[in-house]
Each structure stands twice: as structure tokens, then as C-alpha cells.
Structure 1
């Protein structure tokens, strides 16, 4: 017997999962998870604060970096309560409406991060390939339009996904694979035909990350071609050095994202433990590492953070 999620009775309830086979040790495992969330929240908040407060950082590159930090911060916050709730309090139940809302924000901020990384690639392309027009191309108004267009794109691709999930009927197992709601994981529990949902999910993925990733690759092909034309090896090294942080951010975002998507769709023989590890790597690694990478590799960010910390020490 199937149960629809749009009835007037009590909403459907799903069960979130921690780490399979390690339930007894879940509380202790939650400690490193909590530390990672703390690093992600504090690191991205610090980047946001210094970019907004330091006038010297009011430049296109750092505006995009603040967008990346805001996205990472939001991505961490939208799953923090359910993940730590499962690990600490065994609060596994989540109703269909809360699950769909979390799924919307989780995927929306994921696609937003992909768009921000593309915008940052464009920033590096203009800075290296057309430096004389950098300030005239990347004006504040244009940066605001880029941010707004990414937001509109994400809402446009996610709304059909959400609406078609609401039409599904569920029966049998209500146990999800992760400590948060993931689209592919959710629709696989449906007892009705979910092919349209799967197609919409793939369309959302390919129209965002699937479009952004090749564009980022193309931008770096053009950057490399432009840099290799520079006669001075010292200037070549300096130009490449300005891209290292962004290349690292791209790698730690796309590799887990593609791996998790492939494991969910084609890795049916993989153990639940593998699914869980991949899901948590995808969720936590970019928000944790991005602030660290940019703090270590960007001298202006280092100076701004040092200035803020010194001011706080003087106030104490």
C-alpha cells in the first residue's frame, strides 16, 4: 500500500542515518564532525568579516571570495542541525516537508558554490589575460548582477525538482542513507515511477555544475596559453601563483561532488559505509578547507585576519 506525501493526515516521516555499523561509537565519532563544523563556521565567518570590514579588500577577487564563504557557511548551516542531532541525540526522524526544504537548500547552495567558482575563474581570466580592462569589466554593478544571476539560476533549476518530489508516493522503507536529505537518496525510496525526478535531478546537475566545470576548464586553458606567452619566468610563476587557491577550491569541490553523484547512481554494490563517508566528505571538506587555503595562500587575507586579531587582543 502506498502513502502519498500530499495527504491531509500527519506528514510522512523519514529516518536519517549516522554511520552504518558504528552506532555504539557514534557519539565519539561526532566529536571530529563537530570540530569540522566549528572550523567551517568560524573560518568562513572570519573571511566574510575581514572582506566586508577591510576597505583594502573591496576588490572583485575578494567580493567573489566573500560569496564563496557565504555559500560555504550556508551549506554548513543547512545540515548542521540534522547531522549533529543524529550523532548526539539519535534524533533520526524528519518529516517530508522539512526533508524537502533541506534538500532544496542543500542542492541550491551546492549549485551556488559551483557558480561562484565559475565567477572566480572569470575573475582570474580577466586579471591575467586582460589586466588593463580588469576594473572596467568587473565593476561593482556587474559583480552584483553575476551574484543575482547565480541565485536566480539555482532557484529556477531547483523549483521543478522540489515540485516533482512532492508528487511522489512513498511506501516500504523510509530509511535514508545519510544524516541529511539528498535528492537521489530520497527519490529512490519512492514506490512510484521516479524517472522524471531522476531526469530533473540530472538536468539540474548538468545545467549548473555540468556547465560550470567545462567553462572553468576552458578559462584555465586560455590562462595557461596567455601565461606561456610571457617571456619572464618570474612573471609566469607570479601569474600561476595567483590561481593556486582557486584551482585548489575547484578540486576539493568538484571531485567529491562528482564522486558522490556517481556512487549514488551507479555504485549500488558499494557498502553503506562508503556512501556515508562520501556524503560527509562532499558536505564538509570544501567549507573546512576553502578558508584555510585562502588564508594561507593570500597575503592580503593573512594581513587582514592578523589585523583583526591584533585589534581584539588590544581591546582585551
Structure 2
């Protein structure tokens, strides 16, 4: 298998990548499989990380790099071997000259490494309204529990690091295409035409529709629950955040999130963050909480909070747990 047969679909989690994957699989020139995360595992053998469960992979990568650097062309040789192995693994899931689509949202952590290893691959970046992403992670992954959500470091990275890395890649590399989830929902044929033109593939006859492939039906790697309800993109999820943001505490957190983004991004992929803030301010949730915690107070570890703020946080959470969560 050649690297120019690879497509990487990269996004934040909960941005519609599973839907996009199924729509692209309508073309017989593309094959795929449920998320393998294979390049995350391979690249992090030499890339530093902040993960520390079980053993500290960061120390492992540092020591392994020292080992490779004591061998002539050690790191370059190892990267080539990773590339060869990855292509062999991808080849098991494709036939002939078909593309293989690797859809793994958290590849935003290794975008530069993917471009280095596979410069001739195709890169499709998918973005979504950040308020919808926030609400979808809160609802789907945490069942509305905003404390667990915002105390999860990897989920906070999904919120803040992913758009930074995607934006950097869009400005750095020429070989890419950007797709907005909302455009794909509202004009699927037009957006898919852009993607297939980039891939130099013909439009399939049933463009804009899909049937979840058998390999994906019972997997936990993607969210098939909503996919099974439809056979084409549905606009019912465009404003679904209103159901999730069902009390003023969640509204406060969502508003803090959008305003934090506006400080980091002059342009957020064409989304009007000020307009999103205004919509949130005007929105009236079903329930009203008396005292609301800030986003920062939930993201920061308790050891980082002054005693008075920590005490206040615990009292408010105890009160909210009895009445609102």
C-alpha cells in the first residue's frame, strides 16, 4: 500500500466525524474501519506526552530517544520503520488502489508527525460549532455531569487544544481540505463534491445518503446511535445544545467556554463567537441555579485553588447535587 492511498479525517471529538466517514464510504474508491488509534500508539513511542497512568510514557519516550540518538540515523530509521509498519497494517483493510480512510479525532495530537511520515496522504479537517461540541461531549460522554466532564484533562484538551492544533495545521500545510459540520448538514452534495474533487474521485450516485457499514454497527469506536436513526444528514442536531444546557449552571459554563475561546482565536474557522455568546446570554434554560461556578473553578485541580474558593466550590457542588444534577 502506498501513502497516497491514505486519508486522515481529523477533528475534535463530537464534531460529526462518524457521519462524515459513512458519507465518504458511499464511494467505492474508499474503504475504512472503526477507529484504530494506531498512529497515536506508534508515534508516541518517540513523541513526548503528559500521560502518566501505569508508567510514565513521557520518560519512556525520552529514554528511547536518547537510545536512538546514539545510533547513526537512529530516529530517522525508526520513523521509516513505523511508516512501513503502519502501511502494512492499513493494507489489511483495503484492496487494490482504493483509499483507506483513518478516522480518529484525537489525531489532532499528532498532526505534524502524520504530515512528516505521510506527506502524500490526504488530510480532511472537520470542524463544528464549538457550543455544539461542548454540549455534545457533556451529554454523550458524561450524561450531563459537568463536574466529571471539566475535571477530565483529556476532555479539556479536546475543547481547547484541538482547535489550536487544527488551526495551526490549516495555516502550515497546503495539502488539506477544511469542512464545516453545519455546511455538510445543510448542503451535503455540495460539501461532498468538494471533498471528492480533492480526492480526485467521482461523486457516487447516492451522494448525501449512507447506510452504516456492517463493520461499524456494533463497535464502540464510533457513535452509531444517532447514525442508525437516519440515512442522510439530519439538521435535528444543529441546535441540540439547547436540550443539554438545561440549567443556568451549565449555561454559565458554556458561556465561559465560548468567551475563553474568543480570547484565544481571532477567527474561529469562520464561526462568530460573539454571536454565540449573545445567543447563550439570551437563552433561558429550564432550571435556574442560585449560585453558579465558573469554568475555571472546575477545570483547575483543587490543589490549585485558594482555600476560600475551594470551600465555596465544595459547598455549591453539594447544594447543586441535591437539587439540579
> Above 0.5 in TM-score?
no
Structure having the higher strand fraction is 2
TM-score, L = length of structure 1: 0.26
Question: Whose relative contact order is higher, 1 or 2, with alpha carbons under 8 Å and at least 6 apart?
Answer: 1
TM-score between the two structures when normalised by the length of structure 2: 0.26
